[in-house]
């Protein structure tokens, strides 16, 4: 049984399309708290952090930083502030021996989750990045300026000065302890960084070739090697859009509903995951809350829900 701290982060500043700020509400509407309690867990819901969104009249919509490479980085200061606030909540949950379950919100919030873990836990951190994308763009490679496409790179020490400040200008995770699962849409700069750092990526081609069970066994071995903590960052666009239509950046050819649940079941059996963020649920683009319900199904599988 886990004592779970549910933290909502309704942020959409890291993405282009509106709606992902309503992700926490959609996941709660899909009864995540009740269903976790039905599994025997204790759940404390902290509610949502107070986050400015693109619809906030007090937000400067021209808030764009220019990197030293001349590229635009959108809402850098605002996102950094939000992630710093999230990191405090995650760190406090860990101090109370609670399992932080962070629900978003766009994928930039993962920086805040990882910052909070790093402040609490000084040992090497393993990370499973379940995503159609790499989120490994840097200020000199980003094609959009959207920070949700840079969050993993920042945690690896390849970010802008303001974003790196929350990590005290250091990498908080090492490339040899990171595994990306489900990738099928990588930008040229991301491919180069993957090669340069030696990050393990299981693309959909790899999953088709090796099989999902083999992939998960390899992934767990990598992220658990000489680490004391494993974090799962779960972007629902890792799942194929036919099962998860409510995402801002859908990419066809992803994991099936059953494959995704299997991943969570294997992780549950391993017992290695100690923190989780679930991101990019967009109710505006969804159909009858199917994507939020899928997200809850994956959360439940990670926390021990099984067929029998």
Catalytic residues: 107, 131, 133, 135, 148, 235, 237, 280
- Inter-axis angle of helices 212-224 and 257-270, nearest 10: 40
Taking the C-alpha atoms of 277, 279, 283 and 284 in order, what is their torsion angle to the nearest 10 degrees? 160
d(CA 146, CA 148) in angstroms, rounded, equals: 6
d(CA 142, CA 300) in angstroms, rounded, equals: 34
**Cα-based distances in Å from 273 to 12, 156, 162, 244:** 26, 19, 29, 23
Element (H, E) at 182: strand 178-183
d(CA 145, CA 187) in angstroms, rounded, equals: 13
CB contact at 8 A, 158 and 202: no
Matching residue, tokens 């939000």: 82
């Amino acid at each position: 049984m886990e004592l779970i701290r549910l933290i909502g982060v309704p942020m959409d500043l890291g993405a282009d399309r509106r709606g992902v700020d309503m992700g926490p509400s959609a996941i709660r509407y899909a009864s995540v708290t009740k269903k976790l309690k039905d599994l025997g867990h204790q759940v404390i819901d902290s509610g949502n952090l107070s986050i400015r969104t693109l619809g906030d009249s007090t937000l400067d919509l021209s808030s764009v930083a220019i990197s030293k490479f001349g590229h635009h980085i959108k809402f850098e200061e605002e996102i950094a502030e939000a992630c710093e606030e999230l990191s405090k909540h995650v760190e406090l949950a860990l101090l109370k021996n609670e399992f932080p379950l962070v629900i978003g919100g766009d994928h930039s919030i993962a920086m805040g989750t990882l910052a909070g873990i790093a402040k609490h836990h000084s040992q090497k951190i393993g990370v499973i990045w379940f995503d159609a994308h790499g989120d490994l763009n840097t200020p000199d490679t980003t094609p959009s300026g959207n920070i949700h496409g840079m969050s993993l790179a920042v945690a690896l020490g390849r970010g802008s000065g303001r974003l790196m400040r929350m990590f005290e200008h250091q990498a908080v995770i090492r490339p040899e302890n990171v595994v990306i699962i489900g990738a099928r849409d990588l930008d040229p700069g991301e491919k180069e960084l993957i090669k340069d750092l030696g990050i393990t990526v299981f693309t959909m081609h790899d999953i088709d070739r090796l099989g999902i069970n083999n992939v998960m066994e390899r992934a767990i071995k990598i992220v658990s090697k000489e680490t004391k903590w494993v974090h799962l960052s779960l972007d629902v666009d890792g799942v194929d859009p036919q099962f998860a239509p409510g995402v801002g950046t859908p990419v066809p050819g992803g994991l099936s509903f059953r494959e995704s649940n299997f991943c969570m079941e294997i992780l549950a059996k391993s017992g290695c995951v100690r923190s989780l963020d679930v991101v990019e649920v967009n109710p505006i683009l969804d159909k009858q809350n199917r994507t939020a319900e899928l997200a809850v199904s994956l959360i439940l599988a990670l926390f021990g829900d099984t067929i029998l």
